[in-house]
């Protein structure tokens, strides 16, 4: 099957591309720049911005399925940038799919679309979208997810996946940020009771996308069961927030983080930094924001019964095995 992966040069997108090729699919990617790793394995790369509807249409033409991974991720930045990529970009992908007669779309969403700031312990897909969001990333991802699910119809089936904290070798987001800040002595652990969170190794997250796409392909009972729904994707085993961070730091060969800050002070610092950055017009993300403080201070782990039942998803890479792989990569990575 010919499949387009938006953001195929990224961390999760690249893992999806690799698994599609191993399955025997013909893969095309859409990104804003060329990626040497994709060129090396012979992937056709289309260049363009998600906000450019013409570029999106050209990339989608001739594809039977689209896996829409690309998005603007972050806790900070102009609202317009998140809107342009996550909302307008997704609308462009949906319109291009309908125009080209694409059979199905798998959308990479985020559990943050239903996070309200309170602890979530074993929550499932019945959780509602909150009325307000602390940051533009979850707000715009929620808008996009709703649009994707609403577009599901006979002839064009859609599904949204919510992988939580995707990590592993080649991660330039969570792992790179934790290691860089720990190395610079700028990382502080939160005081108070530990909170449980979900994580998802990148290969498991990628495989969930292939499973979802397979369910949608060709219609039938599987497509009817999965189409128009969202699914949490995790390792299935929650871990304490700072245990996860400690293990990443350890894998990088760095000393354990001992200095602490209270969640209340972290949130206060985030608010002050946000105000200061807005005042001086800085686009670079502050060291702390209110949303990041909220995420670090709350529990958020989810029930993946639905993904297991409907998609046939089962996590394969344990935390211990993932850390072994991460340690090997970090030994030579330049981050």
Report, as residue numbers or ranges, the catalytic residues: 137
> First vs last Cα of the chain: how many Å apart?
36
Per the listing, tokens 């064009």 go with: 156
Instruction: Report d(CA 97, CA 56) in Å as an integer.
Output: 9
Task: Write the burial class of residue 278 (CB in 10 Å: 0-12 exposed, 13-18 middle, 19+ buried).
Answer: exposed
Instruction: Report d(CA 63, CA 29) in Å as an integer.
Output: 11
Cβ atoms 179, 333 nearer than 8 A: no
Instruction: Report d(CA 67, CA 213) in Å as an integer.
Output: 8
Task: Write the burial class of residue 172 (CB in 10 Å: 0-12 exposed, 13-18 middle, 19+ buried).
Answer: exposed
Instruction: Report d(CA 109, CA 231) in Å as an integer.
Output: 9
Instruction: Report d(CA 74, CA 84) in Å as an integer.
Output: 14
SS3 content of the chain, % helix, strand, coil (to 5): 45, 15, 35
Do the bridges between strand 239-240 and strand 196-197 make them parallel or antiparallel, or are there none, so unpaired? antiparallel
């Amino acid at each position: 099957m010919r499949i387009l992966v938006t953001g195929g040069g990224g961390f999760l997108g690249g893992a999806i591309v690799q698994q599609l090729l191993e399955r025997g699919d013909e893969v095309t990617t859409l990104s804003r720049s060329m990626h040497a790793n994709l060129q090396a394995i012979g992937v056709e790369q289309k260049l363009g911005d998600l906000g450019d509807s013409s570029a999106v249409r050209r990339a989608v033409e001739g594809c039977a399925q689209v896996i829409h991974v690309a998005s603007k991720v972050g806790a900070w930045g102009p609202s317009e940038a998140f809107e342009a990529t996550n909302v307008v970009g997704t609308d462009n992908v949906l319109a291009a799919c309908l125009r080209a007669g694409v059979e199905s779309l798998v959308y990479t969403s985020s559990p943050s679309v239903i996070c309200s700031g309170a602890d979530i312990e074993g929550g499932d897909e019945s959780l509602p979208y909150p009325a307000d969001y602390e940051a533009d990333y979850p707000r715009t991802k929620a808008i996009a997810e709703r649009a994707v699910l609403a577009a599901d119809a006979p002839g064009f089936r859609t599904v949204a996946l919510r992988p939580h904290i995707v990590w592993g070798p080649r991660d330039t987001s969570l792992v790179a940020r934790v290691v860089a800040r720990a190395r610079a002595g700028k990382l502080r652990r939160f005081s108070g009771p530990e909170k449980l969170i979900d994580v998802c190794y990148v290969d498991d997250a990628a495989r969930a996308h292939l499973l979802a796409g397979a369910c949608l392909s060709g219609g039938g009972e599987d497509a009817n069961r999965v189409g128009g729904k969202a699914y949490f994707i995790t390792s299935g085993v929650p871990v304490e927030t700072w245990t996860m961070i400690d293990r990443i730091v350890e894998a990088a060969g760095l000393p354990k983080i001992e200095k602490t800050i209270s969640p209340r002070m972290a949130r206060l610092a985030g608010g002050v930094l946000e105000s200061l950055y807005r005042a001086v017009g800085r686009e670079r993300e502050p060291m702390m924001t209110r949303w990041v403080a909220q995420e670090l201070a709350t529990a958020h782990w989810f029930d993946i019964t639905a993904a297991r039942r409907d998609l046939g998803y089962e996590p394969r890479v344990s935390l211990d095995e993932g850390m072994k792989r991460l340690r090997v990569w970090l030994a030579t990575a330049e981050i």
